[in-house]
Amino acid sequence: MNKYNLKDINITNTAFLILTPIIAIASLVAWLLTASFDVNVVLFIVATYIVSGISITAGYHRLFAHKTYESNAFIKFLFLILGATAFQNSVLKWASDHRLHHSKVDSEDDPYNINEGFFFAHMGWIFLNKNSDIKTRYAKDMLKDKLIMWQHNHYTSIAVFFGIVIPAVAAFYLFGNIYAAIACVFVRITLVHHCTFFINSLCHVFGSTPYTDTNSAKDNWFMAYFTFGEGYHNFHHFFQTDFRNGIHWYDFDPTKWLIKTLSHAKLATNLKVTPKRSILKARLTMRMLAVEDISSKKLSDLEELQKQILESLKNIENFKNELKLKKREFDSFSKKLMKRKISQAKKELQFHLVLWKLSIKKLEQSYI
């Protein structure tokens, strides 16, 4: 268990994390005491929160830490500048910690190990000097990137200028109140900090595990609304190279939508997507694990059904790929034939899925 002895404390990090919410609350109170409430101040905070926060999720996290897609130098530069305004350290430090977390999740080597307690995973780990070093073993590729190293070497200046000076000056110009200007800066920093931190703490305690139970990460749809889609954490830990966290069309994942939009504008390429078969296999496996005391015979039947489901899905994907690749070569009859094969494979998939669901439901009801 980690101890917070004074000699082990990183004074700079600790002071900053403690003082930012105090300054945020104090400046809000001072603003409301010296001026009338202005909804535009709130909108300013929300707008800068979105810009800063999504630069962490789309930039620091999915682009730099996991390489779930590629982008040009301009987009990288933009995310490095705007990501610094979140005051979560340079991307070199952030990503190296995050890669170590994924590699050693829930172990003593995990920098924000949830087994050390909720507070430790949330922010306590940042207080410790031992977590201040850059894990170069997990950032060898980043050490060779000139843009990343430029941001790392000038991080403090970039963060202060773009994260404090510019928004404070802009807010003072717009609202004419020094306390409103201070609030605009520090409320935004505090919100981005703790919403990000909740992914490391709350999303390792509360939520569902539809894809894996091999680690403590949970899918938490509620946190997705405050973290631009990062709340689908169970999926992310099992399929960390996917540019999406929320894989369904209805999942709230603005980061996914932004990356997709960038790809349409040719500003993002090589978007990595987990095969549907892998996702479905994970979900089916977790449902089977949820059924207690399942006999070997029934387990064997379910596994055979699962195999048939995945085979049907594989056929659909193969037929679609063949149709796409040979579309120009096929005549109208060949196209109709291929579409018929796809339709038949879909019917087989639905049939096997229904059988599988009925089998699972029957097993679950036997324990009620």
Domain boundaries, the chain: 6-269, 276-365
pLDDT digits (tens, 9 = 90+) for 218-247: 999 999 999 999 999 999 999 999 999 999
The torsion defined by the Cα of 335, 337, 343 and 347, in degrees rounded to 10, comes to -170
Q: How confident is the model at residue 367 (pLDDT cuts 50, 70, 90)?
A: very low
Over 219-285, what HEC string results? ECHHHHCCCCCCCEHHHHHHCCCCCCCCCCCCCCCHHHHHHHHHHHCCCEECCCCCCHHHHHHHHHH
Q: Which residue has better confidence, 276 or 56? A: 56
pLDDT given for residue 368 in this prediction: 39
Segment among 153-157, 178-182, 186-190, 305-309 with least mean pLDDT: 305-309
The mean of the pLDDT values for the chain is: 91
What pLDDT score was predicted for residue 290?
72
Average the pLDDT over each of 169-178, 242-251, 351-360 and give the range with the smallest value. 351-360
Task: Decide if pLDDT at 296 tops 70.
Answer: no
Q: Does 123 have pLDDT greater than 60?
A: yes
Is the per-residue pLDDT at 294 higher than 70? no
Instruction: Identify the pLDDT of residue 206.
Output: 96
Q: Name the token pair of 112.
A: 């924000």
Q: What is the pLDDT of residue 364?
A: 58
Task: Tell me if the pTM is above 0.75.
Answer: yes
| Token couple for 292 | 């207690």
Q: Tell me, what's the pLDDT at 177?
A: 97
Beta bridge partners of 232: 219
15-44 per-position pLDDT tens digit: 999 999 999 999 999 999 999 999 999 999
Higher pLDDT, 1 or 62: 62
Q: Per-residue pLDDT tens for 192-226?
A: 999 999 999 999 999 999 999 999 999 999 999 99
The closest of 163, 222, 226 to 189, measured between CA atoms, is: 163
> What integer pLDDT is reported at residue 178 of this predicted model?
97
CB 259 within 8 A of CB 253: no
In percent, the amount of the chain with pLDDT more than 90 equals 72
pLDDT per residue as tens digits for the range 247-290: 999 999 999 999 999 999 999 999 999 998 899 889 888 887 77
